[in-house]
Amino acid sequence: MSTVSAAIFRGLDKLRAFAFGVAMTLWSVSSIHGQCAPLQIDPSKLPNRTTSHQPILPESAYLSDSTYTNEFFGFALELPIAAQGHLVKLPLMPERQHALLAIAYQNGDRSGSLTIDAIEPREGLEGFSAEQQQRQLTTRAPGTIQTGTQSEPQLQPQVGPQGTVELMPQARLAMLQFEAPAERFHLSLRHSGEKYTALYWTQVKNYKLGVLIATNDKEFLRKSKRALAAALFLCTADDGTLATTDGKLVAPEGERYEGPTVPTWRAAAAIQAQPGLKIPPGEVSAGVYRNAALGLQYEVPKGWDVLPAHNSGAPPADLSWLREFEFLHACSRTLLRLGPHSSGDATGSSHQPAILLRALDPACLSMATPASLNDKKTAEEVGASLEALSEFGQVASHDLVSISDRLFMVFRGTIALPAEGAQLAQRMSQTMFATQHNKMLFLWSFMAPTSVELAALPAGGIILDDSQPIELHSALTAK
């Protein structure tokens, strides 16, 4: 999954804000809904999807290289460009907003983007109160309550081993109850010179569903408009089963996909539960960091001092990053922070080299991890996810390497750290190593003012449970 350039991202951010404002002014537009005929097969013979997959959230979808199908809202469309190589990774959405899909491309002076968002109804606007919405999200899809029916499957957040936030669905109903789909998108089109902005919207399950197209490429605009005009609206059930209005089962194409960022509900559940606080901190003695509960030992490089870990971190000055900050610290723990003894700086000033060791909970972060050296796409997605969390800086390159028969992801780039007494942050060179062990993703960040100083940093040795010592230095100095 590729990350979007800074310029394109800023444009997408502004367009998303524009789309939100337009959607709210158009909230009162009513949608036309069709009817759902009974399913033409025996529902009892359908696979039990609520126990075989994650719970169905607004972001739950299937994505192929050419199609997108959303299970929660029940719509499918052809993509104007191939998904591969064009998926965009976004920061967390604000509360009540859900990012469903983001694709973008740039070819010379031609560019285009298509993003799909869903906005929950605000209190008093044709929807539920905040309390009712939370209850709906933790029990069923909004709008499906029917008097006298059985209770729907409940989704209860549980804090699992080592603080992992897990959603535990109960058994599905024997009889599916479908909700009727919307029948069309409304369109608002603007253009200034060669720049076109098209906003499609409709209302589904009391959510405002919007598709925003921004481009200066008429061919991309034409393909996008054609895809939206031909969008298929489907009947939906709470377990993600999709059907046409005449009762025919629909099998979506592609693989499961949960949007360009962490699903809003999962992020909110993690921020509330704070599972990262349950990650054991470990301790340092005789120059070795030990964490028996996580099965980790790390040799502190000689000549380096252990500094306060600042596990809670310092909230960002830019409040737009506050949600990402809260989410990261809810799903991780800073285990160790080191600074060179020769610096004479006990506080670990940002202009000095530094080593940080974190334990990330990949399940809490909704982050897949690679299983083999061939899984480079997943490693790229991890790098994009880290970059979307501003504390990890910019990732310029990623590699998958085997060090002492242990699979590591290696990310190289830069990170901007605040410099004492300076208005502008100082940019540092950075290399990050990440490996998964005991359901945790251990991540070492090596930072120095220059790439030459970075290559000269001592890396130290690692022991995972009873493994042989793992030396990181050769990978740290590699180009």
User: Do 88 and 191 fall into the same domain?
Assistant: yes
Domain-embedded: residue 270: no
Q: What is the pLDDT, as a whole number, of residue 38?
A: 84
User: Do 351 and 228 fall into the same domain?
Assistant: no
User: Do 65 and 181 fall into the same domain?
Assistant: yes
Q: What is the pLDDT, as a whole number, of residue 21?
A: 55
Rounded Cα–Cα distance for residues 443 and 431 (Å): 10
- Given a cut of 60, whether residue 281 has pLDDT beyond it is yes
Q: What is the pLDDT, as a whole number, of residue 46?
A: 63
User: Do 284 and 334 fall into the same domain?
Assistant: yes
Q: How confident is the model at residue 162 (pLDDT cuts 50, 70, 90)?
A: very low
Domain C-terminal end among 230, 265, 300: 265
Torsion of CA 125, 126, 132, 137, to 10 degrees: -100
User: Do 257 and 133 fall into the same domain?
Assistant: yes
Domain-embedded: residue 272: no
Q: What is the pLDDT, as a whole number, of residue 137?
A: 39
Domain-embedded: residue 461: yes
Rounded Cα–Cα distance for residues 455 and 58 (Å): 45
DSSP at 71: T
Domain C-terminal end among 235, 265, 295: 265
Least confident window among 20-24, 275-279, 322-326, 373-377: 20-24
Domain C-terminal end among 265, 286, 312: 265
Number of domains in the chain: 2
Averaged pLDDT, 276-288? 94
Structural domain containing residue 131: 6-265
Domain-embedded: residue 388: yes
User: Do 220 and 291 fall into the same domain?
Assistant: no
Contact, 55 vs 167, CB < 8 A? yes
Specify the length of the chain in residues: 479
Q: What is the pLDDT, as a whole number, of residue 161?
A: 44
Rounded Cα–Cα distance for residues 296 and 406 (Å): 14
For the chain, give the mean pLDDT: 80
Least confident window among 15-29, 61-75, 214-228, 299-313: 15-29
Domain-embedded: residue 150: yes
Question: Which has more confidence, 325 or 124?
Answer: 325
Rounded Cα–Cα distance for residues 60 and 62 (Å): 7
User: Do 259 and 281 fall into the same domain?
Assistant: no
Q: What is the residue-wise DSSP string for 211-252? A: EEEEES-HHHHHHHHHHHHTPEE-EE-TTS-EE-TTS-EE--
pLDDT tens-place string over residues 193-239? 999 999 999 999 889 999 999 999 999 999 999 999 999 999 998 88
Q: What SS3 class is residue 380? A: helix
Q: How confident is the model at residue 389 (pLDDT cuts 50, 70, 90)?
A: confident
**For helices 322-330 and 264-273, angle between their N-to-C axes, nearest 10 degrees:** 60
Q: What is the residue-wise DSSP string for 157-217? A: EEE-GGG-EEEEE-PPPSS---BPPB---EEEEEEETTEEEEEEEEEETTEEEEEEEEES-
Q: What is the pLDDT, as a whole number, of residue 148?
A: 30
Question: Which has more confidence, 130 or 186?
Answer: 186
pLDDT tens-place string over residues 82-132? 999 999 988 899 989 999 999 999 999 999 999 999 999 765 444 433 444
Query: Beta-carbon neighbour count of residue 275 at 10 Å?
Result: 24
User: Do 313 and 371 fall into the same domain?
Assistant: yes
Rounded Cα–Cα distance for residues 300 and 151 (Å): 55
Torsion of CA 272, 16, 4, 218, to 10 degrees: 160
Q: How confident is the model at residue 36 (pLDDT cuts 50, 70, 90)?
A: confident
User: Do 120 and 229 fall into the same domain?
Assistant: yes
Domain-embedded: residue 151: yes
Rounded Cα–Cα distance for residues 47 and 237 (Å): 13
Kindly state the greatest CA–CA separation across the chain. 75
User: Do 64 and 192 fall into the same domain?
Assistant: yes
**Burial category of 301 from C-beta neighbours within 10 Å (exposed 0-12, middle 13-18, buried 19 and up):** middle
Q: What is the pLDDT, as a whole number, of residue 476?
A: 66
φ and ψ at residue 268, rounded to 5 degrees: -65, -40
User: Do 294 and 378 fall into the same domain?
Assistant: yes
Domain-embedded: residue 400: yes
User: Do 182 and 79 fall into the same domain?
Assistant: yes
Contact, 361 vs 440, CB < 8 A? yes
Q: What is the pLDDT, as a whole number, of residue 5?
A: 45
- Given a cut of 90, whether residue 39 has pLDDT beyond it is no
Q: What is the pLDDT, as a whole number, of residue 154?
A: 39
Q: How confident is the model at residue 305 (pLDDT cuts 50, 70, 90)?
A: very high
Between strands 207-215 and 110-119, the pairing is: antiparallel
Rounded Cα–Cα distance for residues 297 and 276 (Å): 19
Contact, 303 vs 340, CB < 8 A? yes
Domain-embedded: residue 366: yes
Q: What SS3 class is residue 42? A: coil
- Given a cut of 70, whether residue 463 has pLDDT beyond it is yes
